[in-house]
Amino acid sequence: MNLRGAVTSQNFADRTRALITLVNLHYAGVGALALLNLVLGFSVFSAWRAASGQNASTMAAETSALRDAESQAKPLEGLDAKLQDATTDANTFSRTRLPYAYSQVAGELGALAKRQGVKLNGVQYTQAAVMDGTAGALTEVRMDASLSGDYRPLVLFVNGLERDRMFFVITAVALTGQQSGAVGLRMHLTTYLRAPVGAEGTEAGAEGNGAAKALPDADAALLETPAAAAAATGGGQ
């Protein structure tokens, strides 16, 4: 009996150890799986958080770029209407303030000199094409004018040129001395000839004596256009 009991006890102990070992292994496996799930969950959460942050940064950058584009495009709103208005203004300026013939320029200078009581002793003209070959082609006319008279009328003449309906740009003014009570004045100024429109071409084509006919009294002979000078040179030959 004692031997059988000892064997039975030994078998019970072995079975218990085996059972405990299997239970431990089971729990160990469950624990390992739980730890693995925890690690995987943390990794997924970290990846999701990083992706969310990146998406937010991307969205913020795209929003900022869109605002910048809208801000840059804002001055272009209504550009067609602005261009149309600018074209209309330019055409009006050209038609109303730019001469189409030298006779107009000479006539305006002579009339203004007579109005202010100063003597226009002479004007030399030089010209250059501006925007040649385009619809808005102009001829730049530079003038070197010599005048004499009392000081105040000369000042009024200069002011009158600056406010004249015809477009003049005064580039230089200098006093050349005083003789017999009259002050000498020399000035450089510029205007632009536009292309004549319609019947204006008839007058512009007869430039030979146009400038002289437009000027009052003896001043007419002292204002000679480049076309008139060329004609006179050709006649002398």
**Is 65 in the same domain as 102?**
no
Model pTM score: 0.56
Q: Kindly state the average pLDDT of the residues 180-202.
A: 87
Q: What is the pLDDT of residue 212?
A: 41
Q: Higher confidence at residue 117 or residue 4?
A: 117
Domain enclosing residue 121, as ranges: 97-236
Indicate which CATH number applies to the domain containing 147: 3.30.70.60
| DSSP calls for 57-107 | HHHHHHHHHHHHHHHHHGGGTTHHHHHHHHHHHHHHHHHHHS-SSHHHHHH
**Is 57 in the same domain as 153?**
no
Nearest to 232 by CA among 215, 207, 201: 207
**Is 29 in the same domain as 145?**
no
pLDDT by residue (tens digit) across 129-162? Answer: 887 777 778 999 999 999 999 999 999 999 999 9
| DSSP calls for 154-180 | HHHHHHHHHT-SS--EEEEEEEEEEET
Q: Within a domain: residue 84?
A: no
Helix axes 151-162, 102-116, angle to 10 degrees: 140
- pLDDT category at 234 given cuts 50, 70, 90 is very low
Q: What is the pLDDT of residue 207?
A: 53
Q: Within a domain: residue 85?
A: no
**Which residues make beta-bridge pairs with 149?**
183
